[in-house]
Amino acid sequence: MEVRSLVICTAVLRVGGGADGAAPPYGERFVVPRASGERTGARLRHGWGVAAPTVDEVLGFAREHKLAVLATHRGDGGVQMSPVMVGVDDGALVISSRETAYKTHNLRRDPRGWVCLITRGFFGEWHQAEGRVTIESLPEAMDALVRYYRAVSGEHPDWEDYRAAMLREQRVILRMAIERVGPTRQG
């Protein structure tokens, strides 16, 4: 069989299945030949032998690019995703949110979070990470919110006004301790 192009599918999307038709465990990849639509079911190493990035590489990417999509579990088990700005603080990914936001409610119920960090141009290099998320609420979160702003935007022209806005908006810090990073190989 001649294969002209390949598509990489992951179990996360629930599009692939093994030889028995069952969905593969999380993280296994399957080669799908486009020419015939036939699945080989062959298990591949992450990124076709390309090692996953280190936590330090992911943190460095986050410091430089700051854009991500955060995924959390809804109460019904589905996925809720939010575009976010990400900072790095004390070796963790940090995100500013509101007490009333869906992502905050979801993380209070189930602290697992996933991020896909991207560049401003969207297409190109990207990184993924997952881990437990702790929620820091006000008033304790104020210093972390100031550090977050500095990390993603630089100095604020009026820190007193910024602090008042954080209180008014009921801001929180979502702090992800990275437990796992994923492959970033483009398929």
DSSP string, 105-150: HHHHH--EEEEEEE-TTSSS-EEEEEEEEEEEETTTTHHHHHHHHH
Question: CA triplet 130, 132, 135: central angle to 5 degrees?
Answer: 125
Closest to 118 measured CA to CA, from 186, 177, 50, 49? 186
User: Is the separation of the CB atoms in 55 and 181 below 8 Å?
Assistant: yes
pLDDT for position 129: 98
Q: Which residues of the chain have pLDDT under 70?
A: 1-50, 185-187
Chain centroid to CA 147: how far? Answer: 20
Domains of the chain from N-terminus onward: 6-44 (no CATH), 55-181 (2.30.110.10)
